[in-house]
Amino acid sequence: MSSPHRWTRSKVRNGFRTATLSSWEVFDGFLRKGMPDTRGYVWRGQRDANWKLTSTFDRLTEKSLVGLDPALEGDYRGYLADNHLESFKLSVRGRRGSHPSRIEDEDEWWAIGQHQGLATPLLDWTESPFVALYFAFLEAAESHGTMRSVWALSSYKAASPFGPVLSAAFESKPKIKFVRPKLDENSRLVAQAGLFTRAPRGTTVEEWVQNTFEPTSEVVLVQIKLPDVDRSECLKALDLMNINQLTLFPDLYGASQHCNAALESEML
């Protein structure tokens, strides 16, 4: 599919495909015609299309693994993660309000830390493709000519592989986990229709998809690439849809950033 809709798509390889759009303005059309069925997909926007789908914890700890026996990497990552989370639990004592909820689940702890700047094994996603588009364009690009991206992951297919052969192979492989926190302490998560994925340690989401779904031609993960053009117009259009810092960050930070964005818009 090309000129009439102003996008191109690669062939599906091991559950993964890329799509390149001519502009953010054709994003809505691509969702309707370039992705015939978007049910069950979750979405993530990234400022740079070269960035991998990797957690902040994995990025932070990558250098510490240089020279380490590959057979020991999993155990070492687990050791670092356990210590890091325990340190966070101790550090937040007395800082979660007067009557904090009791937390038993490890992923709930990681989720609280994720939106407070903690390096975690989680990756943010949203159930809204337009919220993902907003985060893809929210910050100015670091260099001219950068392509931005919105990622789309089928939570249905990633959680429940299809076909008897693939299903049998899936059972023996590491799983990706979809985390939907239930605590009331994360108003941003609710505002952003958010959730998280937790990939196997040291594995990006795209690596996991291609390793797990080889050699299927079914679409599990799509990287939608968009040129860094007319960023301000994109943000204005999304603002008309009530997608902005004020609605996505229902706190003092969001109010401040919303005012900053309004000032920047006035000066353009």
Find the mean pLDDT for residues 166-182.
79
pLDDT digits (tens, 9 = 90+) for 214-231: 887 889 999 999 999 999
Span 17-53, pLDDT tens digits: 999 999 999 999 999 999 978 999 999 999 999 999 9
DSSP designation for 233? H
CA atoms within 13 A on the CB side of 134: 24
Residues 128-162 pLDDT 10s: 999 999 999 999 888 877 899 999 999 988 887 65
Q: Taking the CA of residue 103 as centre, how many other CA atoms within 13 Å lie in the half-sphere pointing to its CB? A: 22
In DSSP notation, 156-202 reads HHHHS--SHHHHHHHHTSPPPEEE----TT-HHHHHTTEEEEEPSTT
Distance of CA 221 to the CA centre of its chain: 12
Give residue 65's pLDDT band: very low, low, confident or very high (50, 70, 90): confident
Q: For residue 167, what pLDDT is reported?
A: 62
pTM, rounded to two decimals: 0.89
Residue predicted with more confidence, 226 or 96: 226
Domain positions in the chain are 7-64+107-229, 230-268
